[in-house]
Structure 1
Amino acid sequence: MKVIDISRELFSAPVYPGDPMPRRDLLRRMDLGDVCNLSGFYTGCHGATHIDAPCHFIEDGKTVGQFAPERFLGECTVIEMRGIITGSDIDRILPHAKKNILFKGEGEAFLSESGAFALTDAGVLLVGTDAFSIETDKDETYPAHRELLGAGVPILEGLNLSNVEPGDYRFIALPLLLGGAEASPVRAILIME
């Protein structure tokens, strides 16, 4: 079994424009004579590798804490695509993909509204990307987010798929149990048998 970490490190990952900068505060330090090391940290819920839950864009949508943990593990397919992914693109890949799909595009794999609709229509359970966001920021109405999250499909963003070959894997991407939150950082891994 091989485990591949596909997470970005929280404090050094690039931050989506407008999001808060993560930071870690050292509260106690053994090198300064304290009995232990102790840190506190601050971050936005969308820092580094993270899950978007429906309530991010859907009024009364589920929060991250309302999903069962098993929703964030299972079989997935990593697909290499770059640019705007359309419904036609999705129709071509669906026959070869699992119900959890991760897009690898060197930070440039984005879904169009038609791509998001094709995924929800096919019953996909989770969609991920190695980009900051599942869609470009050119459309401020965020139609891909609204389509996926409106169908109850969590979105996994900010993945590090640079060392991952396209294909089928098992994945784990558990969010923190943040009551009422629209998103959560995750530690995401792929498992090759």
Structure 2
Amino acid sequence: MNIIDISRPLLTTVEYPGDPETRLDTVSSIADGDECNLSAVYACVHTATHADAPCHFLDGAETIEDADLNKYIGRCTVIEVPPGVITGEYVNRYFPKKCSRLLIKGDSQSFFMESAAYEAVDTGICLIGTDAASVGKSGNQMKPHKAFLQNGVAILENLDLSNVAPGDYYLIALPVKMGAIDGAPVRAVLIDDYILWNKI
């Protein structure tokens, strides 16, 4: 089985501008005479590879605790797009029409316009993922997020697709069970073993 880790490390990934800085504290250390090594991490739940819950942009909507985990496991397609803004016209011309989960490889620099997000929703996806820090460009965050989230499309952000070729894979990207909040870190992997797919 070939497993491709597409997660970014929480402690070393740069935070989204304006988000709290990630911090690692040593609680105890064997080297200092303690019985065990113990660490504590302070981080924004939207740092590094993560899932957005609907309530991230829709107040009172579903939290990450209520997420439908079926959306985060299953067959997916990775496509490569040029850096820049993804338009509705681009989605109509180049996005696959029969795909449940779609991952965008855009050198961490591809972002959805609102119209593109709605066009992507209309293709029937249940999950959109991106190697960018956000599906929306800075200054235009809300509308693309709302277009996906209010239509039941799960969002994965800050994936590491640098070593992934475009094509079909099996995705496993479960959000950490954090509680009733707006997002959660994810350990996302792709499996490109077709034999396994037929057994799941």
Alpha carbons 1:77, 1:97 under 8 Å: kept: no
Q: What's the TM-score, normalizing by structure 2?
A: 0.91
Moved over 4 A (4+): none
Partners of 1:158 and 1:95 in 2: CA distance: 21
Counterpart of 1:89?
A: 90
Quote how far apart the aligned CAs of 1:96 are.
Answer: 5.5
Which amino acid in 1 is paired with 2:115?
S
Alpha carbons 2:97, 2:123 under 8 Å: kept: no
Alpha carbons 2:99, 2:123 under 8 Å: kept: no
Partners of 2:55 and 2:180 in 1: CA distance: 9
Counterpart of 1:175 in 2: which secondary structure?
Answer: coil
Residue 135 (1) aligns with residue 136 (2): yes
Counterpart of 2:41 in 1: which secondary structure?
Answer: strand
Partners of 1:75 and 1:162 in 2: CA distance: 19
Counterpart of 2:182?
A: 182
Alpha carbons 1:76, 1:97 under 8 Å: kept: no
Partners of 1:95 and 1:6 in 2: CA distance: 21
Counterpart of 2:149 in 1: which secondary structure?
Answer: helix
Q: CA RMSD in A?
A: 1.3
Partners of 1:75 and 1:96 in 2: CA distance: 14
Structure (1/2) with the larger strand percentage: 1
Counterpart of 1:187 in 2: which secondary structure?
Answer: coil
Counterpart of 1:157?
A: 157
Equivalent pairs counted in the alignment come to: 192
Quote how far apart the aligned CAs of 1:45 are.
Answer: 1.0
Quote how far apart the aligned CAs of 1:127 are.
Answer: 0.5
- Unmatched 5+ stretches in structure 1: none
Counterpart of 2:60?
A: 60
Which amino acid in 2 is paired with 1:2?
N
Q: Percent identity among equivalent residues?
A: 45
Partners of 1:68 and 1:52 in 2: CA distance: 12
Residue 70 (1) aligns with residue 70 (2): yes
Partners of 2:46 and 2:98 in 1: CA distance: 27
Q: How does 1:1-193 map to 2 (within 5 A)?
A: 1-82=1-82, 83-95=84-96, 98-139=99-140, 142-193=142-193
Counterpart of 2:196?
A: none
Partners of 1:182 and 1:154 in 2: CA distance: 12
Partners of 1:71 and 1:121 in 2: CA distance: 16
Quote how far apart the aligned CAs of 1:122 are.
Answer: 2.2
Which amino acid in 1 is paired with 2:137?
T
